[in-house]
């Protein structure tokens, strides 16, 4: 969250494994932070590229996109943004799962040239995670990579002692089974998870 608050006038890309909380960080915590600091709601534009409702607003269909194995039409999206930007005030674009937008690098670099627009995006598949963000965004990009909660972070909000907290964390953690293996095995399994995640991210849009 602190990296979002210190961000200024460059693309900020939040990447992570799935279900790590990046969308919640951007669209809930950061969104409410902007509101609490005087930003008008109509100057915060939130759009999730994996949301059927949001895609409907620009004349796209999530089902059709999946069937045709293509990305979201950037022209339709940019037309929608133009309809929302109606004055010279500062606008904040909070864009979720940006990798689903065709030509997203060109689109984001175009917005960066505007003096009244600040862009924050999330992404989680191999197309985005494998890129050098700073290079793709012409040296104007910055990246925040999110990780699952550590035990210390979990305990900072957990109501109970550390033994109950550890039990709760182990029973709800995404990688529960990693607690029962040795360090070398854990490293090997995590490497396999990352490799599989990259493969599954590439398969829907490219030939392997």
Give the integer Cα–Cα distance in Å for 11 and 30: 15
* Res 153: pLDDT: 76
pLDDT, mean of residues 126-155: 64
The pLDDT tens digits for 42-78 are 999 999 999 999 999 999 999 999 999 999 999 999 9
Q: What are phi and psi of 145, to 5 degrees?
A: -105, 125
Q: 126 falls in which pLDDT band (50, 70, 90)?
A: low
pTM recorded for the entire structure? 0.68
pLDDT greater at residue 116 or residue 9: 116
Question: Given a cut of 90, is residue 115 above it in pLDDT?
Answer: no
Q: pLDDT tens digit string along 86-95?
A: 999 999 999 9
Percent of the chain that is helix, strand, coil (3-state, to 5): 50, 15, 35
- Taking the alpha carbons at both ends of the chain, their separation in whole angstroms is 36
Distance CA 56, CA 62 (A): 8
């Amino acid at each position: 969250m602190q990296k979002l608050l210190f961000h200024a006038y460059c693309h900020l890309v939040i990447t992570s494994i799935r279900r790590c909380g990046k969308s919640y960080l951007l669209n809930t915590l950061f969104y409410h932070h902007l509101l609490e600091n005087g930003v008008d709601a109509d100057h915060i534009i939130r759009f999730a590229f994996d949301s059927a409702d949001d895609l409907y607003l620009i004349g796209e269909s999530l089902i059709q996109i999946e069937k045709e194995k293509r990305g979201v039409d950037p022209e339709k999206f940019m037309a929608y943004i133009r309809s929302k930007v109606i004055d010279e005030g500062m606008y904040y674009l909070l864009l979720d799962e940006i990798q689903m937008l065709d030509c997203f690098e060109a689109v984001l670099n175009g917005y960066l040239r505007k003096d009244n627009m600040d862009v924050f995006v999330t992404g989680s598949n191999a197309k985005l995670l494998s890129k050098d963000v700073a290079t793709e965004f012409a040296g104007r990009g910055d990246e925040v990579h999110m990780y699952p909660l550590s035990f210390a972070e979990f305990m900072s909000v957990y109501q109970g002692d550390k033994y109950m907290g550890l039990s709760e964390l182990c029973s709800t953690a995404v990688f529960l089974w990693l607690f029962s293996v040795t360090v070398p095995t854990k490293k090997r399994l995590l490497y396999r998870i990352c490799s599989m995640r990259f493969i599954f991210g590439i398969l829907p849009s490219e030939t392997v």
